Structure 1
Amino acid sequence: MSFDGLPPLREVIRAHGLFAKKALGQNFLFDLNLTAKIARSAGGLEGVTVIEVGPGPGGLTRALLSEGASKVIAIERDERCLSALAEISERYPGRLEVIPGDALKTDFAALVAGVSPVKIVANLPYNVGTELLVRWLTVEPWPPFYESLTLMFQREVAERIVAQPGDSSYGRLGVLAGWRTEARIVFDVPPQAFTPPPKVTSSVVHIVPRTNPLPVDGARLARVTEAAFGQRRKMLRQSLKSLGGEALLEKAGIDPTRRAETLSIEEFVRLAQCI
């Protein structure tokens, strides 16, 4: 038995026939010390409702509950995992709500309407991680329904989230995250911690919303960054042609011969405001 009186994860996976499915972007974490470390990096969980995406066999779910989360709402699209999660639910009566379904079709704010504080903590499936993050960064109204995001990504994605202007990883994600939040990489997780081991290192990122980000329409900012970084080697007058090119840059007071990675977040916001 492990720290919470439930069987070790390897046994759970064997008992329920849960091999990881590549099509679902699954890589299972077996090390319960590591899942506890992820849960703790979300800050205090006493009295907090936690949303978890892709709990799989429930390693992180167990850590969140044992670290004191008052409730965990877990969204899982793989029906094979539901019986394993039901066992955790029995161990923590009334504290785990499992919602079978697709996170990309989930209205997260509606799940926790009227509830606070809320944190999102997840070892995100690789194939939906970035898209979910962009949705959480551009959600309205702001400040958002969550107090923080503690998420695991492939290391290269994590580096793009925390990148600053001039960094080789700086792009759309860095602008969107830097505009509305403060993001930092907390620690790395080696491939061998997972089953099956991915080909890359993973990183846990902790993201806290800013109370007063620069006012701009998130969809416009996303459009500008997408166009600018879509052709990052080209000058802005070329990459932003579809949005107004030189006229737009002149209006925003930005030199049209500059390239996307040299622009500050404030300058991207100015461009979006001028569209």
Structure 2
Amino acid sequence: MSALDDLPPLREVIREHGLSALKSLGQNFLLDLNLTARIARASGELKDATVIEVGPGPGGLTRALLALGATVIAIERDARCIAALHEVAAHYPGRLTVVEGDALAVDMAALADGRPARVVANLPYNIATPLLIGWLSTEPWPPWYDSLTLMFQREVAERIVAAPGSEHYGRLGVLTGWRASARIAFDVAPSAFVPPPKVTSSVVHIVPRPAPLPCERRALERITEAAFGQRRKMLRQSLKSLGVEAGALLEAASVEPTARAEEIPVEGFVALANAWVTMRGAQKAHA
């Protein structure tokens, strides 16, 4: 699918600009333009959409997004890739903005500037989870983005979409399930990348819930940290580190004291977090 946009094939772009993928930046370039178009389409209808892309590298996914009608804001930390991205921008006048910077430090809500936006990205593996947690922790909620369509290592993707009872269910699954619905759209074989990673990757599509169950995010994080930190233990044991009487906390949240973390649905963790906040407040009032 090198005829996607009349631009040179990606291998030629990489050779011309000397773009070897850097392990230190978690880079694995996607060169198959059929595949980048499939990732782009997994985010939904793109005509006139505003898309924020993280880690575009030589611009394979960027080109697919633009060819399908999106306006793209691409955030790239690797200065070596900027010239190649500017060549793509010249081919699509006024539709590609290249922001040189670290995605973990960029204010993406400000870049969206009030427009309905979505995030579509083949994320650098070394910052994928911190970025996702940041997006799920956005305040106020609902967030500035309409959806996230993101590439992760398969293992991380399974943790994001995991349901109670699954071996993959943990803190990341609870945080995601509380604030969003998530599904794995499709897997991507290592051979699709240059250099090929040692693991299969997955594209995950995440849509924010307009009205998640009321809960303090930090309290939910504290509860899940304690519960999954000792996931083999019953909750009456693992929640002892929370500074309140574990039995009373579990009773207040209507959660079985003999249950283990992996058995508790998101609603149960929210109930525990809210009960913990109430009990801590009562403790302070009596101190």
- TM-score where L is the length of structure 2: 0.92
What is the aligned partner in structure 2 of residue 218 from structure 1? 217
What is the aligned partner in structure 2 of residue 270 from structure 1? 271
> C-alpha separation between the residues in 2 aligned to 1:241 and 1:110?
41
Partner amino acid for 1:146?
Answer: Y
> C-alpha separation between the residues in 1 aligned to 2:86 and 2:65?
15
Q: Any gaps of 5 or more consecutive residues in structure 2? A: 277-287
Cα drift, residue 250 of structure 1:
2.7
> C-alpha separation between the residues in 1 aligned to 2:247 and 2:87?
60
> C-alpha separation between the residues in 2 aligned to 1:48 and 1:86?
20
What is the aligned partner in structure 2 of residue 161 from structure 1? 160
Percent identity at matched positions? 69
Max Rg structure: 2
> C-alpha separation between the residues in 2 aligned to 1:128 and 1:216?
26
What is the aligned partner in structure 2 of residue 9 from structure 1? 10
**1:186 to 2:185 alignment:** yes
What is the aligned partner in structure 1 of residue 262 from structure 2? 261
Cα displacement string for residues 206-265 of structure 1 (whole angstroms, at most 9, x for unaligned residues): 111112211111222122112211221122122222213333223222222211000011
What is the aligned partner in structure 1 of residue 118 from structure 2? 119
Structure 2 counterparts to residues 74-85 of structure 1, below 5 A? 74-85=74-85
Residue aligned with 2:203, SS:
strand
Q: Any gaps of 5 or more consecutive residues in structure 1? A: none
> C-alpha separation between the residues in 1 aligned to 2:57 and 2:221?
31
> C-alpha separation between the residues in 2 aligned to 1:21 and 1:44?
32
Structure 2 counterparts to residues 88-127 of structure 1, below 5 A? 88-115=88-115, 117-127=116-126
Residue aligned with 2:145, SS:
coil
User: Quick check: 236-245 or 225-234, which moved more?
Assistant: 236-245
Partner amino acid for 1:10?
Answer: R
What is the aligned partner in structure 1 of residue 203 from structure 2? 204
Residue aligned with 1:2, SS:
helix
Partner amino acid for 2:56?
Answer: P
User: Quick check: 247-256 or 194-203, which moved more?
Assistant: 247-256
Please give the root-mean-square deviation of Cα atoms over the aligned residues, in Å: 1.1
What is the aligned partner in structure 2 of residue 31 from structure 1? 32
Deviation >3 Å, runs of 4+: none
Residue aligned with 1:110, SS:
helix
- Paired positions, count: 273
Cα drift, residue 26 of structure 1:
0.5
